[in-house]
Structure 1
Amino acid sequence: MAGGRNNTIVIRFILLGFSDYPKLKIVLFAVFLGSYFLTVAWNLGLIVLIRMDSYLHTPMYFLLSNLSFLDLCYVTSTTPKMLSDFFQKPKYISFLGCTMQYFFSSLGLTECCLLAAMAYDQYAAICNALLYTAIMSPSLCVQMMVGAYITGLFGSLIQLCALLQLSFCGPNVINHFFSDLPQLLVLSCSQTFFLKVMKFVIAVIFGVISVFVIMLSYSYIVATILKISSGEGKSKAFNTCTSHLKAVSVFFRSGLFVCMNPSTDNSLGHDKMASVFYTVVIPRLNPLIYSLRNKEIKDALKRCKKRAFSHCHS
Protein backbone atom coordinates (compact mmCIF):
# COMPACT_ATOMS: atom_id res chain seq x y z
CA MET A 1 0.00 0.00 0.00
CA ALA A 2 2.89 2.37 0.62
CA GLY A 3 4.10 2.23 -2.97
CA GLY A 4 2.51 3.74 -6.09
CA ARG A 5 -1.21 4.02 -6.67
CA ASN A 6 -3.05 0.76 -7.31
CA ASN A 7 -6.48 -0.74 -6.92
CA THR A 8 -6.04 -1.69 -3.24
CA ILE A 9 -8.42 0.13 -0.90
CA VAL A 10 -6.48 1.82 1.89
CA ILE A 11 -7.98 1.21 5.34
CA ARG A 12 -5.12 2.67 7.39
CA PHE A 13 -2.39 5.23 6.91
CA ILE A 14 1.17 5.73 8.10
CA LEU A 15 1.99 9.02 9.82
CA LEU A 16 5.59 10.09 9.23
CA GLY A 17 5.43 12.57 12.09
CA PHE A 18 8.89 13.98 12.78
CA SER A 19 10.84 11.03 11.38
CA ASP A 20 12.87 13.52 9.31
CA TYR A 21 14.75 14.33 12.53
CA PRO A 22 15.74 10.93 14.03
CA LYS A 23 18.60 12.39 16.08
CA LEU A 24 16.23 14.87 17.73
CA LYS A 25 13.56 12.31 18.61
CA ILE A 26 14.15 12.37 22.38
CA VAL A 27 14.54 16.14 22.46
CA LEU A 28 11.36 16.73 20.43
CA PHE A 29 9.43 14.24 22.56
CA ALA A 30 10.52 15.99 25.76
CA VAL A 31 9.69 19.44 24.35
CA PHE A 32 6.22 18.43 23.12
CA LEU A 33 5.45 16.47 26.30
CA GLY A 34 6.44 19.41 28.50
CA SER A 35 4.48 21.79 26.28
CA TYR A 36 1.41 19.52 26.47
CA PHE A 37 1.49 19.34 30.27
CA LEU A 38 1.96 23.12 30.54
CA THR A 39 -0.91 23.77 28.12
CA VAL A 40 -3.27 21.45 29.99
CA ALA A 41 -2.22 22.85 33.38
CA TRP A 42 -2.54 26.51 32.37
CA ASN A 43 -5.86 26.17 30.56
CA LEU A 44 -7.40 23.86 33.15
CA GLY A 45 -6.12 26.13 35.93
CA LEU A 46 -7.70 29.16 34.24
CA ILE A 47 -11.04 27.35 33.88
CA VAL A 48 -11.01 26.27 37.55
CA LEU A 49 -10.00 29.76 38.73
CA ILE A 50 -12.82 31.41 36.76
CA ARG A 51 -15.24 28.81 38.09
CA MET A 52 -14.16 29.24 41.74
CA ASP A 53 -13.86 33.03 41.95
CA SER A 54 -17.22 34.80 42.00
CA TYR A 55 -15.61 38.09 40.90
CA LEU A 56 -14.82 36.43 37.56
CA HIS A 57 -18.40 35.34 36.89
CA THR A 58 -18.79 37.85 34.07
CA PRO A 59 -19.51 37.44 30.34
CA MET A 60 -15.87 38.13 29.40
CA TYR A 61 -14.52 35.38 31.65
CA PHE A 62 -17.31 33.01 30.69
CA LEU A 63 -16.16 33.34 27.06
CA LEU A 64 -12.51 33.12 28.12
CA SER A 65 -13.12 29.86 30.00
CA ASN A 66 -14.68 28.43 26.85
CA LEU A 67 -11.64 29.54 24.86
CA SER A 68 -9.48 27.63 27.33
CA PHE A 69 -11.75 24.59 26.91
CA LEU A 70 -11.29 24.77 23.13
CA ASP A 71 -7.52 24.97 23.59
CA LEU A 72 -7.64 21.86 25.78
CA CYS A 73 -9.55 20.05 23.03
CA TYR A 74 -7.01 21.28 20.45
CA VAL A 75 -4.00 19.75 22.14
CA THR A 76 -5.82 16.60 23.28
CA SER A 77 -7.10 15.80 19.77
CA THR A 78 -3.60 15.58 18.28
CA THR A 79 -0.74 15.72 20.81
CA PRO A 80 -1.20 12.38 22.70
CA LYS A 81 -1.20 10.48 19.38
CA MET A 82 1.82 12.46 18.21
CA LEU A 83 3.72 11.68 21.44
CA SER A 84 2.96 7.94 21.28
CA ASP A 85 4.08 7.84 17.63
CA PHE A 86 7.60 8.93 18.58
CA PHE A 87 8.22 5.33 19.71
CA GLN A 88 6.06 3.50 17.13
CA LYS A 89 7.35 1.90 13.92
CA PRO A 90 5.42 2.21 11.69
CA LYS A 91 3.04 4.87 12.97
CA TYR A 92 -0.35 3.55 11.85
CA ILE A 93 -3.67 5.34 12.05
CA SER A 94 -6.95 3.88 10.75
CA PHE A 95 -9.24 5.72 8.36
CA LEU A 96 -11.77 5.94 11.21
CA GLY A 97 -9.03 7.48 13.37
CA CYS A 98 -8.39 10.00 10.59
CA THR A 99 -12.04 11.00 10.48
CA MET A 100 -12.11 11.38 14.27
CA GLN A 101 -9.02 13.60 14.18
CA TYR A 102 -10.67 15.61 11.42
CA PHE A 103 -13.18 16.93 13.97
CA PHE A 104 -10.16 19.01 14.97
CA SER A 105 -11.22 21.38 12.16
CA SER A 106 -14.51 22.10 13.96
CA LEU A 107 -12.49 23.50 16.86
CA GLY A 108 -10.84 26.03 14.56
CA LEU A 109 -14.18 27.11 13.10
CA THR A 110 -15.65 27.35 16.60
CA GLU A 111 -12.73 29.50 17.75
CA CYS A 112 -13.37 31.90 14.85
CA CYS A 113 -16.92 32.39 16.12
CA LEU A 114 -15.78 32.63 19.75
CA LEU A 115 -13.20 35.33 19.02
CA ALA A 116 -15.92 37.32 17.22
CA ALA A 117 -18.22 36.91 20.25
CA MET A 118 -15.42 38.13 22.53
CA ALA A 119 -14.96 41.20 20.29
CA TYR A 120 -18.68 41.96 20.62
CA ASP A 121 -18.31 41.62 24.40
CA GLN A 122 -15.48 44.19 24.33
CA TYR A 123 -17.66 46.51 22.25
CA ALA A 124 -20.55 46.22 24.73
CA ALA A 125 -18.23 46.79 27.72
CA ILE A 126 -16.58 49.94 26.32
CA CYS A 127 -19.17 51.50 24.03
CA ASN A 128 -22.27 50.69 26.10
CA ALA A 129 -20.87 50.45 29.61
CA LEU A 130 -24.10 51.51 31.33
CA LEU A 131 -26.14 48.88 29.46
CA TYR A 132 -23.43 46.21 29.49
CA THR A 133 -25.18 43.92 31.99
CA ALA A 134 -28.44 44.12 30.07
CA ILE A 135 -26.80 43.57 26.66
CA MET A 136 -24.50 40.71 27.69
CA SER A 137 -27.13 38.80 29.62
CA PRO A 138 -26.40 35.22 30.76
CA SER A 139 -28.87 33.87 28.19
CA LEU A 140 -27.14 35.75 25.34
CA CYS A 141 -23.73 34.47 26.45
CA VAL A 142 -24.98 30.88 26.44
CA GLN A 143 -26.66 31.38 23.06
CA MET A 144 -23.45 32.78 21.53
CA MET A 145 -21.43 29.93 22.98
CA VAL A 146 -23.80 27.18 21.85
CA GLY A 147 -24.09 28.87 18.45
CA ALA A 148 -20.29 28.90 18.07
CA TYR A 149 -20.02 25.18 18.83
CA ILE A 150 -22.95 24.18 16.60
CA THR A 151 -21.77 26.35 13.69
CA GLY A 152 -18.22 25.01 13.91
CA LEU A 153 -19.43 21.43 14.10
CA PHE A 154 -21.81 21.94 11.16
CA GLY A 155 -19.02 23.43 9.03
CA SER A 156 -16.72 20.47 9.69
CA LEU A 157 -19.51 17.90 9.21
CA ILE A 158 -20.18 19.18 5.68
CA GLN A 159 -16.52 18.64 4.80
CA LEU A 160 -16.41 15.30 6.61
CA CYS A 161 -19.38 13.97 4.60
CA ALA A 162 -17.57 14.96 1.39
CA LEU A 163 -14.34 13.36 2.67
CA LEU A 164 -16.12 10.05 3.28
CA GLN A 165 -17.03 9.93 -0.43
CA LEU A 166 -13.35 9.85 -1.47
CA SER A 167 -11.43 6.70 -2.33
CA PHE A 168 -7.90 5.95 -1.19
CA CYS A 169 -6.01 3.30 -3.16
CA GLY A 170 -2.40 4.11 -2.31
CA PRO A 171 0.07 5.44 -1.35
CA ASN A 172 -0.91 5.59 2.32
CA VAL A 173 1.92 7.66 3.81
CA ILE A 174 0.95 10.98 5.43
CA ASN A 175 3.85 13.41 5.83
CA HIS A 176 2.41 14.91 9.00
CA PHE A 177 1.88 14.18 12.70
CA PHE A 178 -1.93 14.07 12.38
CA SER A 179 -4.38 13.44 9.55
CA ASP A 180 -5.41 16.93 8.49
CA LEU A 181 -7.55 17.38 5.38
CA PRO A 182 -4.87 18.73 2.97
CA GLN A 183 -2.72 15.65 3.57
CA LEU A 184 -5.64 13.29 2.89
CA LEU A 185 -6.54 15.15 -0.31
CA VAL A 186 -3.04 14.62 -1.67
CA LEU A 187 -3.39 10.85 -1.16
CA SER A 188 -6.89 10.41 -2.58
CA CYS A 189 -7.32 8.74 -5.97
CA SER A 190 -10.75 10.41 -6.37
CA GLN A 191 -11.52 13.82 -7.83
CA THR A 192 -10.84 16.26 -4.96
CA PHE A 193 -11.48 19.60 -6.68
CA PHE A 194 -14.97 20.00 -5.18
CA LEU A 195 -13.76 19.29 -1.64
CA LYS A 196 -10.82 21.68 -2.04
CA VAL A 197 -13.21 24.42 -3.17
CA MET A 198 -15.60 23.60 -0.32
CA LYS A 199 -12.78 23.73 2.23
CA PHE A 200 -11.64 27.11 0.89
CA VAL A 201 -15.17 28.55 0.77
CA ILE A 202 -15.99 27.45 4.35
CA ALA A 203 -12.69 28.84 5.62
CA VAL A 204 -13.34 32.15 3.82
CA ILE A 205 -16.95 32.38 5.07
CA PHE A 206 -15.98 31.76 8.70
CA GLY A 207 -12.85 33.89 8.46
CA VAL A 208 -14.44 36.86 6.66
CA ILE A 209 -17.53 36.99 8.89
CA SER A 210 -15.46 36.66 12.08
CA VAL A 211 -12.92 39.28 10.97
CA PHE A 212 -15.76 41.61 9.87
CA VAL A 213 -17.44 41.38 13.29
CA ILE A 214 -14.10 41.90 15.04
CA MET A 215 -13.10 44.90 12.88
CA LEU A 216 -16.56 46.48 13.15
CA SER A 217 -16.54 46.06 16.94
CA TYR A 218 -13.08 47.59 17.25
CA SER A 219 -13.87 50.48 14.93
CA TYR A 220 -16.63 51.49 17.37
CA ILE A 221 -14.31 50.81 20.32
CA VAL A 222 -11.52 53.03 18.92
CA ALA A 223 -14.02 55.81 18.14
CA THR A 224 -15.34 55.62 21.71
CA ILE A 225 -11.87 55.58 23.28
CA LEU A 226 -10.79 58.65 21.29
CA LYS A 227 -13.70 60.55 22.85
CA ILE A 228 -12.44 59.83 26.37
CA SER A 229 -10.78 62.98 27.75
CA SER A 230 -8.83 61.29 30.53
CA GLY A 231 -5.46 59.82 29.55
CA GLU A 232 -5.79 57.23 32.29
CA GLY A 233 -9.25 56.27 31.01
CA LYS A 234 -7.92 55.83 27.47
CA SER A 235 -5.03 53.70 28.71
CA LYS A 236 -7.35 51.49 30.77
CA ALA A 237 -9.71 51.00 27.82
CA PHE A 238 -6.87 50.12 25.44
CA ASN A 239 -5.42 47.66 27.96
CA THR A 240 -8.80 45.94 28.15
CA CYS A 241 -8.64 45.18 24.42
CA THR A 242 -4.93 44.34 24.09
CA SER A 243 -5.13 40.69 25.13
CA HIS A 244 -7.98 39.90 22.78
CA LEU A 245 -6.29 41.64 19.84
CA LYS A 246 -3.09 39.64 20.43
CA ALA A 247 -5.03 36.36 20.51
CA VAL A 248 -6.94 37.30 17.33
CA SER A 249 -3.72 38.28 15.52
CA VAL A 250 -1.89 35.05 16.40
CA PHE A 251 -4.84 32.80 15.55
CA PHE A 252 -5.78 34.32 12.20
CA ARG A 253 -2.18 34.67 10.98
CA SER A 254 -1.44 30.98 11.46
CA GLY A 255 -4.86 29.95 10.10
CA LEU A 256 -4.45 32.16 7.02
CA PHE A 257 -1.03 30.65 6.28
CA VAL A 258 -2.41 27.09 6.33
CA CYS A 259 -5.62 27.87 4.41
CA MET A 260 -3.84 29.79 1.65
CA ASN A 261 -1.11 27.17 1.23
CA PRO A 262 -1.87 24.86 -1.72
CA SER A 263 -2.29 21.15 -0.92
CA THR A 264 0.77 19.83 -2.70
CA ASP A 265 3.55 17.47 -1.70
CA ASN A 266 6.02 20.35 -1.61
CA SER A 267 3.92 22.41 0.77
CA LEU A 268 3.34 19.70 3.38
CA GLY A 269 6.61 20.40 5.20
CA HIS A 270 5.51 24.01 5.70
CA ASP A 271 2.06 22.80 6.76
CA LYS A 272 3.67 20.64 9.44
CA MET A 273 5.57 23.56 10.94
CA ALA A 274 2.49 25.81 10.81
CA SER A 275 0.39 23.03 12.36
CA VAL A 276 2.84 22.75 15.27
CA PHE A 277 2.26 26.45 15.86
CA TYR A 278 -1.55 26.38 15.93
CA THR A 279 -1.96 22.97 17.60
CA VAL A 280 0.79 23.22 20.22
CA VAL A 281 1.94 26.84 20.61
CA ILE A 282 -1.30 28.85 20.39
CA PRO A 283 -3.22 26.79 23.01
CA ARG A 284 -0.33 27.47 25.39
CA LEU A 285 -0.08 31.16 24.52
CA ASN A 286 -3.76 32.07 24.98
CA PRO A 287 -3.93 31.63 28.78
CA LEU A 288 -0.66 33.55 29.11
CA ILE A 289 -1.85 36.37 26.85
CA TYR A 290 -5.03 36.79 28.90
CA SER A 291 -3.42 36.32 32.32
CA LEU A 292 0.01 37.97 32.50
CA ARG A 293 -1.19 41.59 32.31
CA ASN A 294 -4.70 40.99 33.63
CA LYS A 295 -5.15 42.57 37.05
CA GLU A 296 -8.45 40.75 37.72
CA ILE A 297 -6.85 37.34 37.10
CA LYS A 298 -3.92 38.24 39.39
CA ASP A 299 -6.31 39.45 42.10
CA ALA A 300 -8.31 36.23 41.77
CA LEU A 301 -5.11 34.19 42.21
CA LYS A 302 -4.27 36.18 45.36
CA ARG A 303 -7.75 35.54 46.78
CA CYS A 304 -7.44 31.86 45.94
CA LYS A 305 -4.06 31.63 47.69
CA LYS A 306 -5.45 33.51 50.69
CA ARG A 307 -8.41 31.12 50.99
CA ALA A 308 -6.11 28.11 50.66
CA PHE A 309 -3.76 29.54 53.32
CA SER A 310 -6.69 30.23 55.69
CA HIS A 311 -8.08 26.77 55.12
CA CYS A 312 -4.73 25.12 55.93
CA HIS A 313 -4.40 27.07 59.20
CA SER A 314 -7.98 26.41 60.25
Structure 2
Amino acid sequence: MLHVFPVLPLDRQDQVAALIDSARISDGVAPVSEETHLRLPATASRDWLHLVYVDDGAVVAYAHLDTADPQAPWAELVVAPLSRRRGIGSLLLREMLQRAPATRVWAHGFLPGTASFAVERGLHVVRELWQMARPLADLPPGRQLPAGFAVSTLTPGDERDERDWLAVNAAAFASHPEQGRMTLADLRARQSEPWFDPAGFFLVRDERTADDPATWDGVRGPTPEPGRLAAFHWTKVEHAVGEVYVVGVDPDYQGLGLGAAATWVGLDHLRAENLQTVTLYVDGDNDAAVATYRTLGFERIAVDVQLATRRVPDESAR
Protein backbone atom coordinates (compact mmCIF):
# COMPACT_ATOMS: atom_id res chain seq x y z
CA MET A 1 0.00 0.00 0.00
CA LEU A 2 1.26 3.46 -0.92
CA HIS A 3 1.37 6.18 1.75
CA VAL A 4 2.21 9.84 1.16
CA PHE A 5 3.52 11.90 4.06
CA PRO A 6 4.45 15.59 4.38
CA VAL A 7 6.33 14.49 7.52
CA LEU A 8 7.81 11.01 7.74
CA PRO A 9 6.69 9.27 10.97
CA LEU A 10 9.52 8.31 13.30
CA ASP A 11 9.08 4.55 12.84
CA ARG A 12 9.05 4.96 9.08
CA GLN A 13 12.24 7.06 9.21
CA ASP A 14 14.13 4.08 10.63
CA GLN A 15 12.60 1.70 8.10
CA VAL A 16 13.37 3.97 5.16
CA ALA A 17 16.95 4.41 6.38
CA ALA A 18 17.30 0.61 6.59
CA LEU A 19 15.86 0.24 3.07
CA ILE A 20 18.31 2.78 1.69
CA ASP A 21 21.20 0.99 3.38
CA SER A 22 20.17 -2.42 2.06
CA ALA A 23 19.94 -1.06 -1.49
CA ARG A 24 23.37 0.57 -1.13
CA ILE A 25 24.92 -2.73 -0.04
CA SER A 26 23.20 -4.69 -2.81
CA ASP A 27 23.87 -2.22 -5.64
CA GLY A 28 27.25 -0.88 -4.54
CA VAL A 29 26.03 2.71 -4.76
CA ALA A 30 23.85 4.86 -2.50
CA PRO A 31 20.36 5.19 -4.04
CA VAL A 32 19.72 8.66 -2.60
CA SER A 33 21.71 11.81 -1.99
CA GLU A 34 23.01 13.36 1.20
CA GLU A 35 20.19 15.91 0.97
CA THR A 36 17.61 13.15 1.18
CA HIS A 37 19.20 11.60 4.26
CA LEU A 38 19.12 15.00 5.94
CA ARG A 39 15.46 15.50 5.03
CA LEU A 40 14.16 12.19 6.41
CA PRO A 41 13.46 13.70 9.86
CA ALA A 42 12.46 17.10 8.47
CA THR A 43 9.34 18.93 9.60
CA ALA A 44 6.42 19.55 7.27
CA SER A 45 7.03 21.39 4.03
CA ARG A 46 4.58 21.98 1.23
CA ASP A 47 7.50 21.58 -1.17
CA TRP A 48 8.59 18.10 -0.04
CA LEU A 49 6.67 14.83 0.07
CA HIS A 50 7.68 11.34 1.20
CA LEU A 51 6.16 8.41 -0.68
CA VAL A 52 6.37 5.09 1.15
CA TYR A 53 5.21 1.71 -0.13
CA VAL A 54 4.45 -0.81 2.62
CA ASP A 55 4.02 -4.54 2.03
CA ASP A 56 3.03 -6.80 4.92
CA GLY A 57 4.08 -4.13 7.42
CA ALA A 58 7.54 -3.57 5.90
CA VAL A 59 8.73 -0.59 3.88
CA VAL A 60 9.81 -2.00 0.52
CA ALA A 61 10.00 1.20 -1.54
CA TYR A 62 10.54 4.90 -0.92
CA ALA A 63 10.56 8.06 -2.99
CA HIS A 64 10.58 11.75 -2.24
CA LEU A 65 9.38 14.64 -4.35
CA ASP A 66 10.83 18.16 -4.05
CA THR A 67 8.78 20.86 -5.79
CA ALA A 68 10.47 23.92 -4.25
CA ASP A 69 11.46 24.96 -7.77
CA PRO A 70 8.26 24.53 -9.84
CA GLN A 71 10.31 24.71 -13.02
CA ALA A 72 12.56 21.83 -11.97
CA PRO A 73 10.93 19.47 -9.46
CA TRP A 74 13.16 16.51 -8.63
CA ALA A 75 12.89 13.16 -6.96
CA GLU A 76 14.71 9.99 -5.95
CA LEU A 77 13.27 6.50 -5.83
CA VAL A 78 14.49 3.25 -4.29
CA VAL A 79 12.93 -0.23 -4.21
CA ALA A 80 14.15 -3.04 -1.96
CA PRO A 81 16.31 -5.49 -3.96
CA LEU A 82 13.93 -8.41 -3.32
CA SER A 83 10.84 -6.39 -4.27
CA ARG A 84 11.89 -5.19 -7.71
CA ARG A 85 10.19 -6.05 -11.01
CA ARG A 86 6.80 -6.07 -9.29
CA GLY A 87 5.56 -2.70 -10.58
CA ILE A 88 6.14 -0.89 -7.29
CA GLY A 89 8.69 1.53 -8.76
CA SER A 90 6.32 2.29 -11.63
CA LEU A 91 3.53 3.02 -9.16
CA LEU A 92 5.67 5.52 -7.25
CA LEU A 93 6.85 7.12 -10.49
CA ARG A 94 3.29 7.57 -11.78
CA GLU A 95 2.25 9.13 -8.48
CA MET A 96 5.07 11.66 -8.63
CA LEU A 97 4.47 12.51 -12.30
CA GLN A 98 0.77 13.06 -11.62
CA ARG A 99 1.69 15.57 -8.93
CA ALA A 100 4.50 17.23 -10.93
CA PRO A 101 4.72 16.15 -14.61
CA ALA A 102 8.10 17.84 -15.12
CA THR A 103 9.73 15.85 -12.32
CA ARG A 104 13.32 14.77 -12.88
CA VAL A 105 14.33 11.55 -11.14
CA TRP A 106 17.91 10.98 -10.02
CA ALA A 107 19.46 7.61 -10.83
CA HIS A 108 22.67 7.24 -8.86
CA GLY A 109 25.24 5.12 -10.65
CA PHE A 110 22.76 4.61 -13.53
CA LEU A 111 22.89 0.85 -13.08
CA PRO A 112 21.75 -1.53 -15.87
CA GLY A 113 18.47 -2.28 -14.10
CA THR A 114 17.74 1.44 -13.77
CA ALA A 115 18.59 2.02 -17.43
CA SER A 116 16.11 -0.69 -18.46
CA PHE A 117 13.48 0.80 -16.15
CA ALA A 118 14.03 4.20 -17.78
CA VAL A 119 13.80 2.91 -21.37
CA GLU A 120 10.64 0.92 -20.67
CA ARG A 121 8.92 4.01 -19.26
CA GLY A 122 10.07 6.53 -21.84
CA LEU A 123 12.46 8.37 -19.56
CA HIS A 124 15.43 10.24 -21.05
CA VAL A 125 18.69 11.41 -19.55
CA VAL A 126 18.53 15.20 -19.15
CA ARG A 127 21.52 15.76 -16.87
CA GLU A 128 24.73 13.94 -15.96
CA LEU A 129 26.63 14.39 -12.71
CA TRP A 130 30.12 12.93 -12.92
CA GLN A 131 32.08 11.55 -10.01
CA MET A 132 35.79 12.06 -10.58
CA ALA A 133 38.72 10.87 -8.48
CA ARG A 134 42.49 10.87 -8.20
CA PRO A 135 45.05 9.34 -5.81
CA LEU A 136 46.57 11.62 -3.20
CA ALA A 137 49.92 9.86 -2.86
CA ASP A 138 51.38 11.47 -5.99
CA LEU A 139 49.85 14.91 -5.46
CA PRO A 140 52.27 17.51 -6.91
CA PRO A 141 53.02 20.86 -5.24
CA GLY A 142 49.95 23.07 -5.22
CA ARG A 143 49.33 26.52 -6.63
CA GLN A 144 49.98 29.42 -4.25
CA LEU A 145 47.39 32.07 -3.45
CA PRO A 146 47.98 35.49 -5.04
CA ALA A 147 49.69 38.03 -2.80
CA GLY A 148 47.30 39.75 -0.44
CA PHE A 149 44.96 36.78 0.07
CA ALA A 150 44.92 34.68 3.25
CA VAL A 151 43.42 31.33 4.25
CA SER A 152 41.53 30.63 7.46
CA THR A 153 39.03 27.96 8.48
CA LEU A 154 35.36 28.39 9.23
CA THR A 155 34.37 28.77 12.87
CA PRO A 156 31.00 27.04 13.41
CA GLY A 157 28.49 29.45 14.89
CA ASP A 158 30.52 32.52 13.90
CA GLU A 159 27.97 34.85 12.32
CA ARG A 160 30.47 36.56 10.06
CA ASP A 161 31.95 33.34 8.69
CA GLU A 162 28.55 31.78 8.09
CA ARG A 163 27.00 34.95 6.63
CA ASP A 164 29.93 35.50 4.29
CA TRP A 165 29.99 31.89 3.15
CA LEU A 166 26.25 31.83 2.40
CA ALA A 167 26.55 35.02 0.35
CA VAL A 168 29.53 33.86 -1.72
CA ASN A 169 28.07 30.37 -2.18
CA ALA A 170 24.80 31.85 -3.46
CA ALA A 171 26.63 34.17 -5.85
CA ALA A 172 29.05 31.51 -7.11
CA PHE A 173 26.27 28.97 -7.71
CA ALA A 174 23.43 31.30 -8.67
CA SER A 175 22.43 29.07 -11.60
CA HIS A 176 22.98 25.76 -9.80
CA PRO A 177 19.72 23.97 -8.92
CA GLU A 178 20.96 22.53 -5.60
CA GLN A 179 24.08 24.24 -4.29
CA GLY A 180 22.87 27.77 -4.93
CA ARG A 181 19.83 27.22 -2.69
CA MET A 182 21.81 26.42 0.46
CA THR A 183 20.41 28.16 3.54
CA LEU A 184 21.75 28.69 7.05
CA ALA A 185 19.62 25.73 8.15
CA ASP A 186 21.25 23.58 5.45
CA LEU A 187 24.70 24.69 6.59
CA ARG A 188 23.92 23.97 10.22
CA ALA A 189 22.48 20.55 9.33
CA ARG A 190 25.73 19.57 7.63
CA GLN A 191 27.74 20.88 10.57
CA SER A 192 25.82 18.36 12.68
CA GLU A 193 26.84 15.42 10.51
CA PRO A 194 29.49 13.00 11.87
CA TRP A 195 31.81 13.73 8.93
CA PHE A 196 31.89 17.51 9.41
CA ASP A 197 35.31 18.92 10.35
CA PRO A 198 35.77 22.71 10.46
CA ALA A 199 39.53 22.18 10.02
CA GLY A 200 38.75 21.15 6.45
CA PHE A 201 36.49 24.12 5.63
CA PHE A 202 38.79 26.76 4.12
CA LEU A 203 37.96 30.45 3.61
CA VAL A 204 40.09 32.64 1.34
CA ARG A 205 39.79 36.30 2.28
CA ASP A 206 41.01 39.42 0.53
CA GLU A 207 43.44 41.08 2.94
CA ARG A 208 44.73 43.70 0.49
CA THR A 209 44.57 47.33 1.54
CA ALA A 210 44.09 50.36 -0.68
CA ASP A 211 46.79 52.34 1.12
CA ASP A 212 49.41 49.67 0.50
CA PRO A 213 49.35 49.18 -3.29
CA ALA A 214 52.46 47.02 -3.19
CA THR A 215 50.32 44.20 -1.87
CA TRP A 216 47.79 44.31 -4.66
CA ASP A 217 49.15 46.39 -7.53
CA GLY A 218 48.61 44.57 -10.80
CA VAL A 219 46.19 42.05 -9.34
CA ARG A 220 42.86 42.23 -11.11
CA GLY A 221 39.61 42.15 -9.24
CA PRO A 222 37.47 44.49 -7.17
CA THR A 223 38.78 47.35 -5.07
CA PRO A 224 40.46 45.77 -2.04
CA GLU A 225 38.15 45.24 0.94
CA PRO A 226 40.22 43.80 3.77
CA GLY A 227 38.55 40.70 5.14
CA ARG A 228 36.13 40.20 2.26
CA LEU A 229 35.52 36.51 1.47
CA ALA A 230 36.71 35.83 -2.06
CA ALA A 231 36.71 32.03 -2.32
CA PHE A 232 36.31 28.86 -0.29
CA HIS A 233 36.96 25.14 -0.35
CA TRP A 234 34.87 22.85 1.84
CA THR A 235 36.35 19.35 2.08
CA LYS A 236 34.71 16.20 3.36
CA VAL A 237 36.06 12.91 4.68
CA GLU A 238 33.79 9.89 4.89
CA HIS A 239 34.55 6.17 4.83
CA ALA A 240 38.29 7.01 4.65
CA VAL A 241 37.86 8.83 1.32
CA GLY A 242 38.42 12.56 0.90
CA GLU A 243 36.12 14.72 -1.17
CA VAL A 244 36.31 18.13 -2.76
CA TYR A 245 32.85 18.80 -1.32
CA VAL A 246 32.46 22.24 -2.88
CA VAL A 247 34.77 24.97 -4.19
CA GLY A 248 33.40 28.43 -4.89
CA VAL A 249 34.71 31.82 -5.98
CA ASP A 250 32.91 35.15 -5.65
CA PRO A 251 32.14 36.20 -9.25
CA ASP A 252 33.91 39.52 -8.59
CA TYR A 253 37.14 37.58 -8.07
CA GLN A 254 36.95 35.31 -11.10
CA GLY A 255 40.15 35.18 -13.14
CA LEU A 256 42.64 35.48 -10.29
CA GLY A 257 43.29 31.75 -9.99
CA LEU A 258 41.65 31.60 -6.56
CA GLY A 259 39.55 28.54 -7.43
CA ALA A 260 42.57 26.43 -8.36
CA ALA A 261 44.59 27.74 -5.41
CA ALA A 262 41.76 27.01 -2.96
CA THR A 263 41.38 23.54 -4.44
CA TRP A 264 45.05 22.83 -3.77
CA VAL A 265 44.72 24.07 -0.18
CA GLY A 266 42.05 21.46 0.41
CA LEU A 267 43.92 18.70 -1.41
CA ASP A 268 47.03 19.33 0.68
CA HIS A 269 44.87 19.10 3.81
CA LEU A 270 43.36 15.78 2.71
CA ARG A 271 46.79 14.36 1.90
CA ALA A 272 47.99 15.41 5.38
CA GLU A 273 45.12 13.33 6.77
CA ASN A 274 46.84 10.24 5.26
CA LEU A 275 43.97 9.56 2.87
CA GLN A 276 44.64 7.61 -0.31
CA THR A 277 41.93 8.94 -2.61
CA VAL A 278 40.00 12.15 -3.22
CA THR A 279 36.77 12.43 -5.18
CA LEU A 280 34.50 15.21 -6.42
CA TYR A 281 31.24 15.71 -8.31
CA VAL A 282 30.83 17.93 -11.37
CA ASP A 283 28.15 18.34 -14.02
CA GLY A 284 29.15 16.44 -17.14
CA ASP A 285 28.35 19.36 -19.44
CA ASN A 286 30.48 21.82 -17.45
CA ASP A 287 33.35 21.60 -19.91
CA ALA A 288 35.50 24.23 -18.22
CA ALA A 289 35.28 22.58 -14.80
CA VAL A 290 35.84 19.09 -16.20
CA ALA A 291 38.91 20.31 -18.09
CA THR A 292 40.26 21.99 -14.96
CA TYR A 293 39.82 18.87 -12.88
CA ARG A 294 41.45 16.73 -15.55
CA THR A 295 44.52 18.99 -15.44
CA LEU A 296 44.58 18.32 -11.69
CA GLY A 297 44.72 14.59 -12.37
CA PHE A 298 41.06 13.67 -11.82
CA GLU A 299 39.35 11.05 -13.99
CA ARG A 300 35.70 10.05 -14.18
CA ILE A 301 34.88 6.93 -12.19
CA ALA A 302 31.05 6.99 -12.06
CA VAL A 303 28.05 8.94 -13.27
CA ASP A 304 24.65 9.85 -11.81
CA VAL A 305 21.87 10.95 -14.16
CA GLN A 306 18.59 12.80 -13.99
CA LEU A 307 15.76 11.21 -15.95
CA ALA A 308 12.67 12.94 -17.29
CA THR A 309 9.75 12.05 -19.52
CA ARG A 310 10.83 14.54 -22.17
CA ARG A 311 14.09 16.14 -23.23
CA VAL A 312 14.46 19.60 -21.71
CA PRO A 313 17.43 21.97 -21.75
CA ASP A 314 19.50 22.10 -18.56
CA GLU A 315 21.03 25.43 -17.64
CA SER A 316 22.84 24.29 -14.50
CA ALA A 317 26.61 24.00 -14.11
CA ARG A 318 28.95 22.83 -11.38
Verify same fold: TM over 0.5.
no
Bigger proportion of residues as strand: 2
Q: Give the TM-score normalised by structure 1.
A: 0.24
Q: Give the TM-score normalised by structure 2.
A: 0.23
Bigger proportion of residues as helix: 1
